[in-house]
A and B are shown apart, each in its own frame.
Chain A
Amino acid sequence: MSLMKIDGLTQRFGGLQAVSEFSVEMKGGELMGLIGPNGAGKTTIFNLISGFYQPTEGTITVGDTPTAGLKPHQVTSLGVARTFQNIRLWHDMTVLDNIRIAQHYRLGYNVMDSILRGKKYREREERILEIATELLEAMSLTEVAQECPKNLPYGLQRRVEIARAMSIRPKLLLLDEPAAGLNSSDVEDLIKLVRWIHENYDISIFMIEHQMKVVTSLCQWIKVIDFGSTIAEGTAEDIQSNPAVIKAYLGDDNI
């Protein structure tokens, strides 16, 4: 059984074919990259995986559950977490609360419990706090646990967002341009962080990235798409010398 299998994924918005015949299979434990010029349909693929759009054609299967018809929060509870290109933290809540709320799907208590606060409520809340504290410590965010993300520097916000995605305990982590807007030292930290997560947790990572430095130093396998279709795939070296990729990025004359 594979971790995630996408088969013949096609998405049309009216007359626009945003994604066509995209297929990928992740067995578990890989670090895969998705690159392509602006508007190639990369984020659309992520939105399809996480359940924001229902695909026009094709199937996505997580574990052995087809995600067709599932709401985004249901897909997330199958173990697929993601981050956003522009950071989307809850900026007015503390970092700790951000991490705690992301565990909503395994709260295991309902409204009445939250008001009556019986034994079950206290146990669950303690467990959630424990998981959150552990994770913050592992991601070296303990010092900022009581800060609001809006007061943190951008690089740290990015780290908090990845921590929030990790608090779901995902089997598959989707990173949407994690290095966007970071300076070079932050990028170094990010590469270390992603590598550390990949080594320390039993997790597959699928990332969209523009900065070739990040992609080449992290990803074992890269897929390149342009105008919605896959134009190349392979290891970093294969991709860098592939004429179709160079054409997509730089245009015809430069070959």
Chain B
Amino acid sequence: MQKYTLNVLMAACAVFLLVLAHFKIIDNYIQAVIMFVGINIIMSTSLNLVNGNMGEFTCGHAAFMCMGAYVTSLLSVLCFGKNFGDPLLPQYMAMFVFPIMILAGGVVAALTSLLVAIPAFKTRDDYLAIITIAVNYMVISAIENMDFVGGSRGFQGMKNTVWAMNDTIKGPWMLFWVITFTVFTIWVIRRFITSTYGKGVNAICQDEVAAEIMSVNTNKIKLVNFMISAGLAGCAGGLFAHIIGYVNPQSFNILKSTEAMVMVYLGGMGSLSGAVLSAIVFTFLMEVLRSQSLIDFLLAPATFVFPDWEPSAGVIKWVMIPLLLVLIMQFRPEGIMGNKELSDVFPKLKKYYTFK
């Protein structure tokens, strides 16, 4: 019984949000924020598989998001856009083909992750981190030099697919897909990581030599784990491209990877619920700190002392968030949740749901 409560709760939340969005009770801005929360949840939970559960240190997660974004966008424009001539598919197909295109982006991203996974058989820690940064740059430079997807000017035309879905049946389609894929991600990761097969990942984190000796095929588990993680990031990329309607290689640079890492370390390494919570907190914080009036209010004492100083929210935000990270590392280095799940922190919740 408790096994299903979380799923039921997630479904109820999803339906509630969709109904609100459909009847325009929440406006487009709030919808956009909710969609970015969803994307950030996918990014942080999928990165958490590698950085948290497996204990590797990868900092090129945005590369996989980039691959997913471009592959999905290309398919989407081919099928429903006008950049490369007439659309291949009729408009009413959009809503059925869209998830397939997102998943295709995920599959390609998963294949790209082999660039990281195979070196990871031999290297660990700092060395692997350097490899992942290199892969991030490789992917970005490769796409910048492909003229048929616009190179460094970026690529657009994906909105046609969203409009095609909207023309067939009116509704908040992107919100629907983002929520669906977020729930899908949490479902996949939760099941993978709680099976005996997936617990091999934690075993590798805690003692790789012992894992290998105790019959865990460490290379295979690493490969599978990297591929699941990158595949989900690829899905996030595809969704991101369709929300914005425009992709640019530079929006998937090392800063984007860092954002995902900040969320993982904020939430607690190896904690799925921590990664979800921190993605929510982080996205809302980013949005709240965009408000100039809030920044003016917070910095009123400083501007009183230095009347010539006019702090801009866009700059101060990038002081506040790293500062938050510094404070967290100082006072709670294990992150919000540590490596515990919600049900470990609040044992009373166990009556209502089990993590396994």
Contact = CB atoms under 8 A, between A and B. Distances in A.
A34 B3 CA distance: 50
B93 interface: no
A125 B202 CA distance: 18
Contact of B195 (A92, A121, A168): A121
Contacts of A104: 196-197, 200, 214-217
Given A92-B202, A101-B214, A115-B192, 4 more contacts: A88-B210, A111-B192, A121-B195, A128-B196
A140 to B, nearest CB: 21
Of the four ranges (under 10, 10 to 19, 20 to 34, 35 or more), the interface on chain A belongs to 35 or more
A89 to B, nearest CB: 7
A226 B218 CA distance: 34
A89 B209 CA distance: 10
A221 interface: no
B207 to A, nearest CB: 5
B216 A114 contact: no
B210 A89 contact: yes
B228 interface: yes
B303 interface: no
Contacts of B212: 71-73
B115 interface: no
Contact of B215 (A52, A77, A91): A77
A90 B207 contact: yes
A105 interface: yes
Contacts, number: 93
A176 to B, nearest CB: 11
A81 B212 CA distance: 11
A250 to B, nearest CB: 34
B256 interface: no
Contact of A90 (B196, B203, B224): B203
Interface string B138-156: 0000000000000000000
Contacts of A165: 214
Interface string B50-62: 0000000000000
Interface of B: 188, 191-192, 195-200, 202-203, 206-207, 209-219, 224, 228, 339
A107 B197 contact: yes
Interface string A96-127: 01001111110101110111010001000100
A59 interface: no
A90 B218 CA distance: 14
B203 A105 contact: no
A91, A92, A101: most-surrounded residue (chain B CB, <10 A)? A101
A76 B197 contact: no
A100 B207 contact: no
A114 B195 contact: yes
Nearest to A88: B210
Nearest to B216: A104
B214 to A, nearest CB: 4
Contacts of B209: 52, 88
A91 to B, nearest CB: 6
12 contacts: A92-B339, A93-B199, A100-B196, A101-B199, A101-B211, A104-B214, A104-B215, A105-B215, A110-B197, A111-B192, A111-B228, A117-B191
Contacts of B188: 115
Interface string A186-204: 0000000000000000000
Interface in A56-108: 71-73, 76-77, 81-82, 84, 88-93, 97, 100-105, 107
B176 to A, nearest CB: 22
B258 to A, nearest CB: 27
Contacts of A100: 196, 199
A164 interface: yes
A50 interface: yes
A92 B215 CA distance: 19
A111 B196 contact: no
A178 B79 CA distance: 65
A72, A91, A93: most-surrounded residue (chain B CB, <10 A)? A72
Contacts of B202: 90, 92-93
Nearest to B197: A114
